Amino acid sequence: MEHKTLKMTKDKYGVVSMRLNRPEVHNAFNAEMVVELRETARELGEDPEVRAVILRGEGPSFCAGADMKWMQEAANFTLKKNRADSSSLSAMLYTLNLMPKPLIALVHGAAFGGGVGLVAVADFAIGLRDAKFAFSEVRLGLTPATISPYVVAAIGARSARAYFLSGRRFDGREAYRIGLVHQLADSQEEMEDLAAAWIQCILESAPGAVTAAKKLIASVTNREITPGLREDTAELIAAERASVEGREGTSAFLEKRRPSWYPKDD
């Protein structure tokens, strides 16, 4: 699809850079960006050449949440139209969360409201120490409803209580402490280097296994360890051992060679 609110590039290894591109409003969401993010995530998830996706923000911020002009317009929508609008945002977050390719978020500047939702749906999140985060919805008479399932899963109910209820801003250090980001950096350059290390690990791993591992996490989270769950996981690993990737990975290890999916230098 044509991209108006995103900048997209893909390198020779299948690593996609997806950059939010509304810098004049700190990459705040509008209806068009929400649709583009959802459809692009769907397309990337279905593309066999894509190995990983890095999400960044153009300009001074990662994402400042919802565009206030969009919010002002929504205030005058009918309830039916507001539901459709909110459902579109929810569908975008859901699609990114379940996209069957690793998603890495690199956070600088402001990440407010829905922008924090993008951080929470990422598989890896790296932030600058001086980045600013906030669940600012309550200050507008709203709640962080659509992002809440992903944020609470990332930071837990206890931290969510403190920051959802207060709207208080916090920095990258606090985001790291509560589990919103995995690593901190002092500069953009260091953040890119940290991301490159994660990408290298992903490229050295079997693409199908990486996708299956992401799906596995979703399937076992919060499930009681019953005989049924144990049987499901045993069947999964049995099938993977006999798969093309499983056989290739085992053979490569025993033969002391790199597997077929390992990135090849020109």
71 pLDDT more than 90: no
What pLDDT is stored for residue 82 in this prediction?
A: 75
Neighbours of 155 (CB within 10 A): 20
For residue 132, what are the contacts with CB-CB under 8 A and spacing of at least 6? 109, 110, 111, 112, 169, 170, 171
Residue 66: what pLDDT? Answer: 87
- Give the pLDDT confidence score for residue 2 in this predicted structure: 75
147: Cβ contacts below 8 Å, ≥ 6 apart:
93, 113, 114, 116, 117, 120
What does the alpha-carbon distance between residue 161 and residue 247 come to, in Å, rounded to a whole number? 47
Which pLDDT does position 70 carry in this prediction? 77
pLDDT one-digit tens code per residue, 100-139: 999 999 999 999 999 999 999 999 999 999 999 999 999 9
With cut-offs at 50, 70 and 90, classify the pLDDT of residue 163.
Answer: very high
Helix, strand, coil percent content, the chain, rounded in steps of 5: 55, 15, 30
* Model confidence band, residue 1 (pLDDT cutoffs 50, 70, 90): low
Kindly indicate whether the domain formed by 6-202 is annotated with CATH number 3.90.226.10.
yes
User: Where does the pLDDT of residue 169 fall: very low under 50, low under 70, confident under 90, or very high at 90 and above?
Assistant: very high
pTM of the model as a whole: 0.94
pLDDT digits (tens, 9 = 90+) for 12-51: 999 999 999 999 999 999 999 999 999 999 999 999 999 9
What sign does the dihedral 243-245-248-254 (CA atoms) show? Answer: negative
Given this model, what pLDDT does residue 246 score?
A: 96
Give the list of residues 6+ apart from residue 126 with CB closer than 8 angstroms, or none. Answer: 104, 105, 106, 107, 181, 182, 183, 184, 185, 191, 194, 195
**The pair of three-digit structure tokens given for residue 257, joined into one six-digit string:** 């060679």
pLDDT above 90 coverage of the chain, percent: 89
Q: In what order do the strands lie in the sheet with 170-171?
A: 110-112, 132-134, 170-171
Give tens-digit pLDDT for 140-150: 999 999 999 99
Q: Does the pLDDT value for residue 78 go beyond 90? A: no
According to the model, what pLDDT value does residue 8 have? 97
The domain locations on the chain are 6-202, 206-254
pLDDT digits (tens, 9 = 90+) for 213-254: 999 999 999 999 999 999 999 999 999 999 999 999 999 999
pLDDT at 171 over 80: yes
Average pLDDT on 55-78 reads 86
> Are the beta carbons of 43 and 28 closer than 8 angstroms?
no
Q: For the residues of 200-229, what is the DSSP string, one character each?
A: HHHHTS-HHHHHHHHHHHHHHTT----HHH
Name the average pLDDT for the chain: 95
How do residues 173-219 score in pLDDT, each as one tens digit?
999 999 999 999 999 999 999 999 999 999 999 999 999 999 999 99
How far, in Å, CA of 182 to CA of 196, rounded? 14
